[in-house]
Structure 1
Amino acid sequence: MSSFIGSALRGTFFLVFGLGWSVKYPLKYLSRTWNADSRASSWIKKLDVLEGAAKAFFALAGILAEQFIPSGPHMGLYSKESQSWEKLTNWQYTTMYLFYGLSGIMDVLFYSPFKLSLGLDRLLLSVAMFSEGFLFWFHDYTNNALGQHLHSLLLIAVFGGALCALMEVFLRDHTILEFFRTSFFILQGSWFWQIGFVQFPPWGGRGWDQTDRGNFTFLTLCFFWHYAAALLITAANSVSSHWYRKACQANFGNIDVELDWGFCFRKTNQSSDPVLLPEDGLDEK
């Protein structure tokens, strides 16, 4: 839906997963570095399945919102009365959510007994992001030059994240690729919010002036400020995880403090000292 609420919902979708990844992937990296046991691996798998289910749920909610709002197409694609297409913008956003929903389903099936090929989850995520990018690329921006500029900048984040996800099909669990994919997702989320404020101010009134070239220049600067913030957030969470690791890795005498999927627990070493047992028998008289 072409409104502030629609743009905010899309932005929230990407922010939730981007910010979640900025915490998840550093912890996942630490669990691999520390040769964590099967309990950590089990928590990672459960988190991946939960993430996939959440992605599919939010995608379904987005599809329903785009289709069944009062001004939506209500699953109607072509009107025989007017002999024209119905609400193609809503259908474009519906298609975007559809592919992200398929990506979420694949995330869940990846850990199912079907034994799917390694990398299929990243491949479906890459397909979803490429689909999103081409949908915005071929969107009709008639009489909306500023909107076209805003979405052209958005394509940098979309295609950048899509390329990272595609490379992860072949370079599984690559820390740098995960870092940049996360930053691009956060950038998408914040920029969708920015688009909402520019084109559909929540306080009412018209959007920004389409003829002022200064707006184009400022928004280009603003886009890269958004990306700088996304990189700082991702880096800050990575550094915080590293410091947390240092704190949890400290040894205190016979107590080892370790990281077990984001939580510290104390493990006392078994003592090798002999244990004195009471003697059986009667006391001597």
Structure 2
Amino acid sequence: MRKWTAEDVPSQRGRVAVVTGANTGIGFETAKVLAARGASVVLAVRDRDKGERAAARITGAASGAEVTVTHLDLASLKSVRAAAEELRAGHPKIDLLINNAGVLFTGKGTTSDGFELRWGTNHLGHFALTGLLLEKMLPVPGSRVVTVSSLGHRVRARIDFDDPRSERSYDRIAAYGRSKLANLLFTYELQRRLPGIGKTIAVAAHPGGAHTDLMRNAPASFRAFATIAGPLVQRPAMGALPTLRAAADPGVLGGEYFGPAGPGEIWGHPRRVSSSEQSHDLAVQRRLWTVSEELTGVRFPV
């Protein structure tokens, strides 16, 4: 079977792509390829200075690339609303929204709205951003919402609707797994609510094992594994390929999930993969949607 690479990304000229967390790692590599293919790319980042430096690196590597920066702190619903307002005002349409940014193994913390940090950033922040931008995507043929999940969605992941703020119990590995499971539940439920053929679709991806800045706060056991498995752990450019395929492959269908083709989906070129049985639970998908709307105050135009 032929291996899918960044060279397979078709021309993106005339398209507008918003990539969260695009100043480094997988988000940066995703934005770089899209810009090189002609997309007008928005780096939606928490640190504007780092975003501007990342934009300069992209434009320096690809002559004529169009890259702008928008401030976005997914751990603040106020910031999410401000970023969405700026993006809606600055762009008559949005073709791609890539929900890439994430918090991995930082210590226990809360968002400015009082949610557990991983849950509030990885899921609720992206849920709200998508809902606030979707009206700019629905009229655009071929537009896509791509949300980046993780192999971690299978690890001690369970949505506890009785304790959405993790006030009664907390474990950072379980909290991360829960947020990545929520990314998939959200993608599948969004796809079911979208209008249909030829319009916006929702797709998910995961990078496998990749060397990124997210690992800097990982538990010692995870860092030790990454050291031992070094030859199998991908560089960010390879880790970005599943996201790029989900975003740009003309053959992608709504509700699909992409990850590396190698053993354990840790490394390799991207292909369609499966997610956990729990992620396909319709009742959990619908309940998560309702709870997320209540917690964020964002209603989707679908």
TM-score relative to the length of structure 2? 0.30
Between structures 1 and 2, the one with greater strand share: 2
Largest Rg, 1 or 2: 1
